[in-house]
Amino acid sequence: MVKGIEKYGIPVVHMATVVPISLTIGANRIIPGVGIPYPLGDPTQGEVDSKKIRRRMVKRALKALQTPVAEQTVFEKDDF
């Protein structure tokens, strides 16, 4: 799906837990998800913190979408 969309020239940030699969299928901007049952957030830490985690991740996704990449890149840090 990532490639199908990106080939139209629209940048896609893939937020996925299993980064190796994301790399294999050819996503170019990747943000590691927290876990398969809850990729964006961590409900085991309570709703409030879970949402904070999600917010940080989505902000990182927006940042990744504004970052030029030459090859497949995993954005692991919140450097904004």
Per CB under 8 A, residues contacting another protein are 1-22, 24-29, 32-41, 43, 47, 50-51, 54-55, 57-59, 61-62, 65-72
The pair of structure tokens assigned to 40 is 């964006």
Task: Give the whole-angstrom CA distance, residue 11 versus residue 74.
Answer: 14
CB of 49 vs another protein, minimal distance in Å:
13
Looking at the Cβ atoms of 55 and 78, the one nearer to another protein is 55
Inter-residue contact 64 to 13 (CB < 8 Å): yes
Beta bridge partners of 31: 15
Looking at the Cβ atoms of 47 and 79, the one nearer to another protein is 47
